[in-house]
Structure formats: C-alpha cells, structure tokens
A and B are shown apart, each in its own frame.
Chain A
Amino acid sequence: MNKEIYKKVRNNPKFSKLVKKRSGLAWKFSAIIFIAYYSFILLIAFSPETLGQAIGDGVITVGIPVGISIILLCIILTGIYVKRANSEFDKLIDDIKDDVRFDT
C-alpha cells in the first residue's frame, strides 16, 4: 500500500468524519464503563456499608442489583457500539475506499 493512497484518505473529509464519530463514541462509552466500574470498586473499598444495605425488609442488598447492572451495562454498550460500527462506520469506510479507487 503506497503513501499516495494514505495521503488521499487523509485529505478525504469523510475520513475525519469517521474518526470523529467513531472515536467520540468509543471514548465516551469507555469512560462510562470506567466510571461505573471504578465507582463500584471505590464504594467497596471506602464504604462497603453502602452496597451492603438491605433493600426493603429482605436480605438482598443494594450491591447485587448494582453488580448485575454493571454486567448488563457492558453487554448493552457493546451491543450499541457494534451495531453502529457495523452499519454507519463501515459504510463510511466503504465510501472512503470507493473514493480512493475512483481517484486512481
């Protein structure tokens, strides 16, 4: 793959659009997971009582639904990302490839 093609891609406005959209989503989602997980870990470390509180009169504690929610959050965000990447982002990449091909 020669430098010319990479140069064309770099100058293609669709490339900046792709990078902006995808990186934006990727970093935003990573931050959400990071914050959710570290809040969980820091609560365990500094304030175990918070997660140890019983819900209502039963024995189930706050920590259990919180833990399960983090697992579900991982699955849901992964799903959204894959869906957008496989349609929207891949289409942009194909467009960029087409542009480069027609140019040459």
Chain B
Amino acid sequence: MKDLNIIAIIMFLVFVLATLSITYWAAKRTKTAKDFYTAGGGITGFQNALAISGDYISAASFLGISGLVFLKGFDGFIYSVGFLVGWPIFLFLIAEQLRNLGKYTFADVASYRLKQAPIRILAAFGSIATVLLYLIAQLVGSGKLIEILFGLPYEFAIVLVGLLLMILVTFGGMLATTWVQIVKAVLLLCGASFLAFMVMVNVGFDFEKLFSSAVNVRGSINIMSPGGVVGDPISAISLGIALMFGTAGLPHVLMRFFTVSNAKEARKSVFYATGFIGYFYILTFIIGFGAIVLVSKNPEYLDIAKGVLLGGNNMAAIHLSHAVGGDFFLGFICAVAFATILAVVSGLTLAGASAISHDLYMNVFAKENASEVDEMKVSKYATIGLGISAIVFGIAFENQNIAYMVGLAFAIAASANFPILFLSIYWKKLTTRGAVIGGTLGLATAVVLVILGPIVWGQIFYGDESKAIFPYKYPALFSVTVAFISIWFFSITDKSDSAKREIEAYDDQYIRSQTGIGAEGTC
C-alpha cells in the first residue's frame, strides 16, 4: 500500500462527508447542556449498545488484538477475555446505581453526598488524565495507520483527525458523537464478520483445519497454548485487575449511561454490548489465525528484507482484508479503521470536555453564578483546547513508544476513578477525606509505578527492560490495593462533623441508587 489506494481514499471521503452531515443534523438538535452531554437522554438501549461497542472496539483493539493473535496465537485471546469480563461486573454492580445517582459525569455520583469541590476536582483530574493519555495513544497510532493506509504524511493525518474531531464534538455534541460511533460500529462488525467468514470459507468451515494450517505455517505448536505475554503470576493478576476494573472507570464509557432514557434501557444496552463485543473478540481470534495462514507467507504483504509484515504486526487484519477481498474490501476496511479512530477520539474528547465544564467550571469554580449557556460555552472551549493539545502531543510523541499510555490510562481508571465510584455507591462510611486522600494515593501510585516500570524506566530511559526499578509492566494490583486501603483508613479515622453528616446521608442515597426515586429525568 505504498501507492495511494484510490478506493480507500474514495471511501474515506464518503465517510468524512457522512460524518459532517451527521454533525450538521445533530447540531440543529443540540440546544441545551443535556443535549450536548447526553444527546438529550433519548438514545435507545440498542443504539447505546452499538455506541458502547464502538467506544470499546477502538482501532487499537481491532488491529492490536488481531495483530497480537497473529503474532502470539492463544496469548492474544487472554486480552480479549480480559477486556470482556469487566462488562458483566459493571452491569451487576455499577450501571444502574450510576444512572440513578448521576446526571452527566461519574463525579456526580462520587460527590452525591460528599463535598463537591474536592471530590469533583479529583474526579475531573482522574477523568482528564485518563482521557488525555488514551487520546494521545489513539492519535499517535492513528497517525501511523493513516500514513500507511492512505500514504498521507503523519503530521497531516494528525491535524486532519484533530480538526474533524473538534468540528464533530463542538457542533454536534453527544448526539453526533453517538451516531458516528453507531455507524462505525455497524461497519466494523460487518467488516470483521466478512473477514472471518472468508477465512472460514478458505478452510472449508473446519476449525481443526484452520488451526492445524496455522501451526504448519508457523512451524510451531506454541501458538496454540499460553506463552510469554503474561510471564509471571503477579503480572497476570495485575493485568486482569486493570482490565476488569479499568473498564468501570473509563469516563467516556461511563458517560454513555446517561444518554439512555431509563434504567431498563441502560441494562439492555449492557447486554447487547456484551454480546457485540464478545462476538467481535471471537472474530478477531479467527482473523488473527486466518492472517497466519493466508498472509504470513505471501511475499506481497511482507517486508522481505526484515521478514516481517509490511507496516508491522498490527497490519495483519488490513493485509488479510486484501488477501480475501481484493482492493475494494481493503479500501473498505481502511475507511472503517479511520472511522473507528475518529469516533473513539471524539467520545474521549467529549468526556474530557464535560469533566472540565460540568465538574470543574460549573460545580467548583462558577457555582451559582454561571448559567447553562455559560456551561455549554466552556465545554466547547474545552473541546477545542483538548483537540489542540491532542494534536500537539500527537506530533510530539510521534516516535515515542506509546504502549505504556494505554496501560497507564487503564491503571489510573482502575486505581483512582473506580475505587471512589464503587465505594461511594456501596460503602456507607466513606468520607470526603478518605476519598480524596485514597484516590490521590491510588492515582499517584499508578503513575509512579508506570514511570519506574519496565517500559518507561527500563526501555525509554535505559534501553533495557531489566533495568527497571519496579519489575512489573502492570501496576494495577498494587495501585488498586493502595487506593482501597487508604480510602478505608482515612475514612474510618475521620471523626469530623462533616464526616458524620456524609455517613448519615448514605441511607437516602442508597434508596435513590436502588430505586431511582428522585433520579434525573424522573418525576
């Protein structure tokens, strides 16, 4: 794909036009803050499920996991399973309570009976950190991808995605973001289904044949069993915790639960989303093995000198689309990959902007002095600010190893956002002091351990993973533990009057969280 792929470019332009039309349509319907943050609360459970799946199945996830399966076989599957198991737990324990207590952001829930200012500042900080890290990681990945797919220069690609996302979010708000996400999720699910279907056609719908051909091509049976991706038990458990609890702390996913009209729709959306995401991960497994069989020995897709895939292992699904569907299908998958990037970064930016405008500006700094119009204005400025910072960081980080950023985003989500959210719902004795100190310590532990860990301290500072001070790639086991223990300790030792009031307020909060009586949007 060194030459410009005309079909890909045409499909790409069609998608950009479609995005702009959706934005135009949505802009006319986005008038109030509620419209802007939650699409007016009028999204159905099924639509929300597609949008959640869209947020979840990012380009990193589609190309990254199929690439990992292509490279390591079974090990790629460990990630798929881990990414999915967070969902049911989230539904059972958090989704409904979140909806019943909150309005636009998860900080609404955490600060329900605690002090507004400190909790909102901490929650906003956790949200913005998660969003920005995730955003930069997605953007750098997307710049590289667009460079390879469409032959566009890296900086141009970053600026293009950045501009589009600013237009989309500023004018179209949550409604446009959701619909772009839905369109993309449908395209991606169809594209991936077709890819997997063609792989199965090639092996005569015989799984044994698919796997045995892959083993033959690779010349090793190791791809069929767990290997080195998660080497030691501590890393394995830690990764598991980050994936499981990180999901329940990602602000752009949490925010989606306020876009549906009631608890029934919210629950339905988790069920459908779990189905879509689970189905999708099974497809990526087939796609990864299909790529081993159909792509890895074809000189057309290889960098012969290095003996690796053109563009790296993450291109496995892209090359496979050409191998089974020719130029046309390749163009389609490239355009879908682009759509995926745009949709995910838009959702992230919107979540970050709402943390700034709704949590920081409206509830901490301006308070009663600001109107809804002001809040909307601030959220639009915040969107533009986040968009510009993402472009600047995206260009600055071009040649950095950004793999740690996604890990860090999940670690922060799991060790700062999740414990506060979870305990504010379930633990009566939580106090502001406990939440603020514990949440901050959890966040700090996650950041420090990632910096001292194998990728940043080892690889980036010393060029050798074994030089790391902290030996594990995934800090969640430690940072989540630190967060929970310190929240507990600093809450039970808090004997102030305000703490007493906060504990007393739990009983009423509990009834609202369980029944939805008094919740937003009900009478």
Contacts and interface: CB of A to CB of B under 8 A. Distances in A.
B227 interface: yes
Contact of B225 (A18, A27, A63, A82): A63
Given A78-B271, A82-B270, A58 B208 contact: yes
Contacts of B275: 75, 78
Interface string A34-50: 10011011111110110
A71 B80 contact: yes
B274 A78 contact: yes
B160 to A, nearest CB: 36
B460 interface: no
Contacts of B512: 1, 6
A18 B93 contact: no
A88 interface: no
A84 to B, nearest CB: 10
A19 B274 CA distance: 25
Contact of B91 (A52, A63, A81, A96): A81
B278 interface: yes
B77 to A, nearest CB: 5
A67 B77 contact: yes
B84 interface: yes
B92 A38 contact: no
B274 A64 contact: no
A31 to B, nearest CB: 10
B89 A46 contact: no
B464 interface: no
Contact of A100 (B85, B235, B517): B517
A41 B236 contact: yes
Contact of B88 (A30, A38, A52, A96): A30
Contacts of B212: 58-59
Contacts of A77: 88
Interface in B72-87: 74, 77-78, 80-82, 84-85, 87
Contact of A48 (B91, B226, B515): B226
Contacts, number: 165
Tell me what chain B mostly uses at the interface: helix, strand, loop, or mixed: helix
Given A30-B93, A71-B281, A72-B278, A97 B517 contact: yes
Given A42-B236, A86-B267, A90-B264, A75 B278 contact: yes
B351 interface: no
A26 B270 contact: no
Contact of B221 (A18, A59, A100): A59
B216 to A, nearest CB: 9
A33 B244 CA distance: 11
Given A1-B517, A41-B236, A60 B224 contact: yes
Contacts of A5: 517-518
B236 A74 contact: no
B271 A3 contact: no
Interface in B192-226: 207-208, 211-212, 215, 221, 224-226
B43 to A, nearest CB: 17
Query: Which of B226, B512, B517 has most chain A Cβ within 10 Å?
Result: B226
Contacts of A79: 271
B372 interface: no
Nearest to B515: A93
Given A30-B93, A41-B240, A82-B271, 9 more contacts: A3-B508, A22-B514, A25-B92, A42-B233, A63-B77, A67-B81, A75-B278, A81-B92, A82-B267
Interface of B: 74, 77-78, 80-82, 84-85, 87-89, 91-93, 96, 207-208, 211-212, 215, 221, 224-227, 230, 232-233, 235-237, 239-240, 244, 263-264, 267-268, 270-271, 274-275, 278, 281-282, 507-508, 511-512, 514-518
